[in-house]
Structure 1
Amino acid sequence: MDAASENGAWVTHGERLVYESDWVRVGLADISVPSGERFEHHTVWFPPVAMAVVLDNERSSVLLSWRHRFAPNIWNWELPGGIIDPGEEPIDTVRREITEETGYRAESIKHLITFEPAVGMLRNPNHVYLAQDITLVSEPEELNEGKFRWVSRTQIPELIQSGQISNSGTLVALLHLLSISGPELADK
């Protein structure tokens, strides 16, 4: 009996790289599943990312960008954020991206959640933060990130329901925000 069938874990016997770029790696893993079957399964790696729910100082609105994504050919609302540079901590990425994309600086940045958007085949940790106590410090440097606008927290459920928020990072972050009550926001 192999390790997979004993404890329910899938066992990786090896993995080979099929394609690699700075943005994506595709591999084939030789795996065994709990039933004992052994086969190759594809894997995909994307660089880890960090994003932030930026609240206005009244904590009534969220800073979102309306932007086009060419691969799925959709327009949707997104949070500021981006790829974590080598050697950079996720919180530092968030700090940098907020200022580059929006021109704001947050005095309070707290981790909310880290998740994997497609855990069955994709390696892509998404780090989500809550940014509060903000000040406008500059004009945005990033010109390709869409147009940022303050959106009332009360509008978020309708934006989700109507499909105007369709990317996993923004969905997870905003649903998490909706689960936090008023006084808890300052402590999260």
Structure 2
Amino acid sequence: MHLSRVAVALITNDRDEVLMLWRYRFATDAWGYELPGGIIDGDEESAATAAREAGEECGWLPTGEPEHLISFEPIPGMVTSEMDVYHWRGAERIGEPTDTEEAGTVEWVSLKRATKLAKERKLLGSGTLVALLYFLASRAEG
């Protein structure tokens, strides 16, 4: 089975926090944190998709140049659905979220909490989990 490509935005600020959504997912019957992201529309560049989704889902638009962190297939034994993750250092508040289907509570979450949240199964989805853990590991490597 082939699913659409997805782009994910990992946006950090100067307080070492990451922009996330706290929301409920019916399929897994779970509350947790997710990074903004979504399906890449048509010929849209994946970084543009990640930025657009952050604006729509969170009301924050990333600023500066994106850094491509990683691309991966979340479950290659079952489906193809490549995920591209981009990092921005900063964002500008543009208003309230406009995507009501992806509604959640927007929070700046301390990166120090990421591994604890992962262990507690409070990071929902492979896009969020892989993005945050890769980001933290690459920072540790210098």
Question: By the TM > 0.5 criterion, same fold?
Answer: yes
CA apart distance, 1:180: 2.8
Letter in 2 for 1:131: W
Contact 2:21/2:107 (CA < 8 Å) preserved in 1? yes
From the CA coordinates, give the structure whose radius of gyration is larger. 1
**Rounded Cα–Cα distance in structure 2 between residues aligned with 1:106 and 1:51:** 12
| 2:10 pairs with one of 53, 58, 69 | 53
| 2:105 pairs with one of 136, 143, 147 | 147
2:89 is the counterpart of 1:132: yes
Report the number of matched residues.
140
Q: Secondary structure at the match of 1:45?
A: coil
Segments of structure 2 that go 5 or more residues without pairing to the other structure are none
**Rounded Cα–Cα distance in structure 1 between residues aligned with 2:86 and 2:100:** 23
How far does the alpha carbon of each residue in 1:125-158 deviate from its partner, in whole angstroms, 9 at most, with x for none?
Answer: 0011102221112221112321111110001111
CA apart distance, 1:59: 4.8
The equivalent residue for 2:137 is: 179
Decide which structure has greater strand share.
1
Contact 2:21/2:58 (CA < 8 Å) preserved in 1? no
The equivalent residue for 1:167 is: 125
2:19 is the counterpart of 1:72: no
**Rounded Cα–Cα distance in structure 2 between residues aligned with 1:55 and 1:125:** 23
| 1:88 pairs with one of 17, 28, 44 | 44
- Which has the higher relative contact order, 1 or 2, with Cα contacts under 8 A spaced 6 or more apart? 2
**Rounded Cα–Cα distance in structure 1 between residues aligned with 2:78 and 2:115:** 29
Segments of structure 1 that go 5 or more residues without pairing to the other structure are 1-43
Q: Secondary structure at the match of 2:67?
A: strand
TM-score (norm: length of structure 1): 0.70
The equivalent residue for 1:121 is: 78
How far does the alpha carbon of each residue in 1:73-114 deviate from its partner, in whole angstroms, 9 at most, with x for none?
Answer: 111210001110011110110121111111112122111110
CA RMSD of aligned residues (A): 1.7
